[in-house]
């Protein structure tokens, strides 16, 4: 199955196809509004603003599976992101990325690019949490925390996975190289 075969729900409940983004470089991210990594929205928007005219899209999928850090309705989440961070990239309906109800897109992405470990001081702190998440979801613990990012090339290939502890400048460099 190609990444372009997956469908998602827009915030309004209508269906969207990842295939609508074929031929573009994509950064697919699971996000949360109440996380220590939430300020990454600012960096994501800056990367998006710089590269969107070159065929780049960020696809934002809020997820409340990590310490309930994405509370609220889809519209409340969207309003928070647009008001606080000025986000302009597509944001979809809240989903699950782990467990029995994990969206197949995230299961596929994580299978293609498995978890490579957290980095830095924040990474050390997240290791304990990761073990709890892994226990909770068992073999379906695809994503380890909020703001995990998958970089997709123009042909729909997963070329890189960035854990939330990766420096956003490294993400930006990888996006620029993929373009």
Determine the Cα–Cα distance for residues 104 and 177; give it in Å rounded to an integer.
Answer: 27
Determine the Cα–Cα distance for residues 172 and 160; give it in Å rounded to an integer.
Answer: 12
Q: What is the DSSP string of 37-78?
A: TTTHHHHHHHHHHHHGGGTEEEEEEE--TTTT-S-S-HHHHH
Residue 35 among the catalytic residues: yes
Q: Are 59 and 11 spatial neighbours (Cβ–Cβ below 8 Å)?
A: no
Structure tokens at 153: 């090339």
Active-site residue, selected from the candidate residues 35, 59, 70, 133:
35
What's the pLDDT score for residue 34? 93
What's the pLDDT score for residue 53? 98
pLDDT tens across 44-82, in order? 999 999 999 999 999 999 999 998 999 999 999 999 999
Determine the Cα–Cα distance for residues 94 and 98; give it in Å rounded to an integer.
Answer: 13
Determine the Cα–Cα distance for residues 81 and 150; give it in Å rounded to an integer.
Answer: 20
What's the structural domain count of the chain? 1
Ranges 13-22, 68-77, 116-125: which has the least confidence: 116-125
Residue 79, domain CATH:
3.40.30.10
Q: Which residues pair with 25 in a beta bridge?
A: 56
Task: Classify burial at 100, counting beta carbons within 10 Å of its beta carbon; exposed 0-12, middle 13-18, buried 19 or more.
Answer: exposed
pLDDT tens across 124-153, in order? 878 888 888 888 888 888 999 999 999 999
Determine the Cα–Cα distance for residues 42 and 87; give it in Å rounded to an integer.
Answer: 8
Domain extent at residue 155: 3-178
């Amino acid at each position: 199955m190609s990444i372009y075969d997956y469908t998602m729900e827009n915030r309004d409940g209508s269906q969207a196809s990842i295939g609508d983004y074929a031929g573009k470089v994509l950064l697919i991210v699971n996000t949360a509004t109440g996380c220590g990594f939430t300020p990454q929205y600012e960096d994501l928007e800056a990367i998006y603003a710089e590269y969107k005219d070159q065929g780049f899209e960020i696809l934002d999928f809020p997820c409340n599976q990590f310490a309930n850090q994405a509370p609220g309705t889809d519209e409340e989440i969207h309003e928070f992101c647009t008001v606080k961070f000025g986000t302009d990239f597509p944001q979809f309906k809240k989903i699950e990325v782990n467990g029995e109800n994990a969206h197949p897109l995230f299961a596929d992405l994580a299978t293609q690019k498995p978890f490579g470990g957290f980095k830095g001081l924040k990474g050390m702190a997240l290791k304990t949490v990761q073990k709890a998440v892994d226990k909770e979801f068992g073999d379906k613990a695809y994503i380890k925390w909020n703001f995990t990012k998958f970089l997709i090339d123009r042909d729909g290939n997963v070329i890189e996975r960035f854990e939330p502890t990766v420096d956003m400048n490294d993400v930006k460099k990888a996006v620029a190289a993929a373009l």
